Amino acid sequence: LRAQCNVVEPADVKKVATTLKRAVKVVGTPTYQEMKWIN
């Protein structure tokens, strides 16, 4: 998941946050955590 935009809609932020939370629950691996910090 890579988002590159200058203008971010609050709704989009919520969507992305929800998706990330879900992904963390599903994946929850050190590799994923690394990826998250790099992006």
pTM (global) more than 0.75: no
Give the pLDDT score at 27.
Answer: 67
Instruction: Spell out the alpha helix ranges (H) of the chain.
Output: 10-26, 30-38
The residue ranges of every structural domain in the chain are 8-39
Q: Over the stretch 1-39, which tens digit does the pLDDT of each residue have?
A: 566 656 667 888 888 888 888 877 766 666 666 666 665
Q: CA–CA separation, 26 vs 10, rounded Å?
A: 24
Give the pLDDT score at 4.
Answer: 64
